[in-house]
Amino acid sequence: MNVKSYIQNAIQTTLKEILPEQNQGFDIDLTAPKQKDHGDLATNIALVLGSQSGRNPRQLASEIVNGMDLDPELVARVDIAGPGFINFTFSDSILYEGLKEIVLQQEAYGTADWGGNKKTQIEFVSANPTGPLTIGHGRQAVLGDTVARLLEATGHDVTREYYFNDAGRQMRVLADSVRLRYLEQLGMSVEFPDDYYQGDYIRDIARELAQRKGASLQDEAFKDDACFRESAEKAIFDDIRSTLERMGIHFDVYYNEKSLYETGKIDAVIKELRKRGLAYDQDGAVWLKATDLGLDQDRVIVKSTGEPTYRLPDLAYHRDKIDRGFDIIIDIFGADHIATYPDVLAGMRALGYDDSRVRVLIHQFVTLTEGREKIKMSTRKANFVTLDELMDEVGVDVTRYFFLNRSASAHLNFDLTLAKTQSDENPVYYIQYAHARICSILRHAEEQGYDTDLVGDPTLLTSEEELELIKILLDFPRVVSSAAEHLEPHRLPTYLENVATTYHRFQHAGKVDETLRVVSSNRETTQARLDLCRATRIVLANGLDILGISRPERM
């Protein structure tokens, strides 16, 4: 099954004979070369050891090659190339066995169980209910959800959680923004401050309130009535939830920061920190002694006004995550929160918790442009493009793909004009089209009387296009696992584009050369090629599922 470790062992054994003076184990790097005429796996071991021991790398390489006794059923060729690389080329029988395996495993192909069913919590979006989700939130939403899907595919027990705060200054301003718009609805003239929420959605909420409550709230006595805040929060949260559902994102838990106060978990943290001598009072505020925890300055956790800063509830929340029994805790933050997590981690260590369970994934911001014009996004100033507007324009699949196709650590340049005008050129269609094309060919084959569930003889697949396709399909499990392990979803779209290209090339070969057509007059090769089509469909379908993107059977 695992040719790689087989080869690794063979090299190891041979090296012990050739270089007995180095009796410790060798660290053998064995990776797939970029260029296909360099074989399927290559090692630089002769270069590394050659320079260490002062020997000629090419000569050392040839000693290693001559000393190895590899099964020709597994490895067809071994070459020495360039300055001393050793290139291994697999025998085709490995590919044929692998292909059968894909067709047998179906939906399970690519999944893994190394997650060990570990309880994994992933927190993301976590936008406070002050306005609709924007393109800025979209990146985090899609990133978090896809990391969750990757972890599920690799055997983790995942909980998606949305943390929010519906108290504090932000919400008071929001409530008062609604109140002023409400008064406007009643025909009163009001002065609407610049730093209040300018968005039209506030007017909508106010209009609805005016219809429901009439003029009953117009008196100054109702200035701080909870009604304004509550109606705003409900309307905005309903909107956020429906946007998320539309994107295929479902949260298991919505966690209200307020509950940390109500259950006494905030006080408990302060008490515990004081007990450990890691919190102290100064200038009327409570400080976390972060300098004792390896950070460069102490931080205020309770302001002199008596209000906690964000660090305290964050700390209590993370403590709660561990207390709820999560083995792995993943936080997805935007770049603006980059400074907060060292404090949280330090606080957790201070409380005696193991902070290595926490993994933080930081993504850079989305810069929105319209043509050359840069748009500065702000919820307060109503200067934003909502996710719903984007999805109206380009659809869910393009939206998800757009955010996923780039590494989280890179800035994302979102050109609105380009997104609209080039939506048909988006690579997501390229991948989906490959899937649809396969479905079409399988339908066609069934009409010709082929049983598409029958497993044919894979050894009939010998063209370059066919072998290339099998090889790339066999990479799929490794790509899924490494994307999950590194929390890097963008590896998957990149891979799937390559699969689609390789498939299109394979099918196109039949247009040029009649004997390479999938459904041909030869029933045996047709059956084998249909298996290859099915295997490709399985990889594309499983990959698109992990990305949360639809896989159309017709386009």
Q: From the CB of 483, what's the least distance to RNA, in Å?
A: 10
> Do the bridges between strand 373-375 and strand 279-282 make them parallel or antiparallel, or are there none, so unpaired?
unpaired
Q: How far is Cα 496 from Cα 405, in angstroms, rounded to an integer?
A: 11
User: How many residues touch RNA (CB under 7 A)?
Assistant: 91
Does residue 409 touch RNA according to CB under 7 A? yes
Among 25, 305, 392, 521, binds RNA (CB under 7 A): 305
- Range in contact with RNA (rule: CB under 7 A) among 143-151, 179-187, 385-393, 427-435: 427-435
Q: Considering only residues 49 through 88, tell me which ones interact with RNA, judged by CB under 7 A.
A: 51, 57, 81-83, 85, 87
Closer by beta carbon to RNA, 210 or else 344: 344
Does residue 165 touch RNA according to CB under 7 A? yes
Report CA-CA distances (Å) from 265 to 83, 300, 318, 369: 63, 18, 11, 43
The residues, any chain, with a CB within 8 Å of residue 387's CB and separated by 6 or more, are 132, 133, 134, 135, 137, 138, 141, 243, 247, 399
Binding mask 331-370 for RNA (x = CB under 7 A): ----xxxxxx---------------------x-xx-x---
Among 186, 190, 382, 555, binds RNA (CB under 7 A): 555
Q: From the CB of 202, what's the least distance to RNA, in Å?
A: 20
Q: Considering only residues 494 through 513, tell me which ones interact with RNA, judged by CB under 7 A.
A: 494, 497, 500-501, 504-505, 507-511
Q: From the CB of 445, what's the least distance to RNA, in Å?
A: 7
Q: From the CB of 218, what's the least distance to RNA, in Å?
A: 30
Does residue 424 touch RNA according to CB under 7 A? yes
* Strand, helix or coil for residue 301: strand
Q: Considering only residues 89 through 128, tell me which ones interact with RNA, judged by CB under 7 A.
A: 128
Amino acid, res. 156: H
Closer by beta carbon to RNA, 41 or else 217: 41
Q: From the CB of 22, what's the least distance to RNA, in Å?
A: 15
Strand residues in 335-384 grouped as ranges (E): 358-363, 366-370, 373-375
Closer by beta carbon to RNA, 227 or else 518: 518
Q: Considering only residues 429 through 488, tell me which ones interact with RNA, judged by CB under 7 A.
A: 429-430, 433, 436-437, 439-441, 444, 488
Q: From the CB of 46, what's the least distance to RNA, in Å?
A: 9
**What are the two backbone dihedrals, phi and then psi, of residue 249, each rounded to the nearest 5 degrees?**
-110, 125
Q: How far is Cα 328 from Cα 124, in angstroms, rounded to an integer?
A: 14
- Range in contact with RNA (rule: CB under 7 A) among 141-149, 163-171, 229-237, 317-325: 163-171
- Partners of 80 in beta bridges: 86
- Partners of 329 in beta bridges: 121, 358
Among 111, 170, 185, 463, binds RNA (CB under 7 A): 170
Does residue 521 touch RNA according to CB under 7 A? no
For helices 340-350 and 265-275, the axis angle rounded to 10 degrees is 70
Q: How far is Cα 236 from Cα 243, in angstroms, rounded to an integer?
A: 11
- Terminal alpha carbon distance of the chain: 37
Among 12, 309, 452, 463, binds RNA (CB under 7 A): 309
Closer by beta carbon to RNA, 208 or else 342: 342
**How far is residue 142 CA from its own chain's centroid?**
7
* Strand, helix or coil for residue 430: helix
Nearest 5 degrees, angle CA 35-CA 36-CA 42? Answer: 75
Q: Considering only residues 217 through 246, tell me which ones interact with RNA, judged by CB under 7 A.
A: none
- Got the DSSP string for 164-185? E---SHHHHHHHHHHHHHHHHH
176 token code pair: 């008062």
Closer by beta carbon to RNA, 67 or else 168: 168
Among 194, 195, 283, 354, binds RNA (CB under 7 A): 283
Amino acid, res. 348: M
Nearest 5 degrees, angle CA 441-CA 442-CA 443? Answer: 90
**What are the two backbone dihedrals, phi and then psi, of residue 76, each rounded to the nearest 5 degrees?**
-85, -35
Whether the CB-CB separation of 531 and 456 falls below 8 Å is answered with: yes
- Range in contact with RNA (rule: CB under 7 A) among 62-70, 104-112, 205-213, 407-415: 407-415
- Range in contact with RNA (rule: CB under 7 A) among 30-38, 93-101, 130-138, 382-390: 30-38
Does residue 293 touch RNA according to CB under 7 A? no
Does residue 381 touch RNA according to CB under 7 A? no
- Range in contact with RNA (rule: CB under 7 A) among 14-22, 129-137, 139-147, 280-288: 280-288
Does residue 411 touch RNA according to CB under 7 A? yes
Nearest 5 degrees, angle CA 518-CA 523-CA 528? Answer: 55
Q: From the CB of 337, what's the least distance to RNA, in Å?
A: 5
Whether the CB-CB separation of 135 and 414 falls below 8 Å is answered with: yes
293 token code pair: 């925890």
Closer by beta carbon to RNA, 271 or else 508: 508
Q: How far is Cα 520 from Cα 454, in angstroms, rounded to an integer?
A: 17
Q: From the CB of 496, what's the least distance to RNA, in Å?
A: 11
Q: From the CB of 160, what's the least distance to RNA, in Å?
A: 19
Q: Considering only residues 525 through 554, tell me which ones interact with RNA, judged by CB under 7 A.
A: 554
* Strand, helix or coil for residue 382: coil
Does residue 215 touch RNA according to CB under 7 A? no
Neighbours of 501 (CB within 10 A): 15
Q: Considering only residues 243 through 262, tell me which ones interact with RNA, judged by CB under 7 A.
A: none
Among 18, 517, 545, 550, binds RNA (CB under 7 A): 517
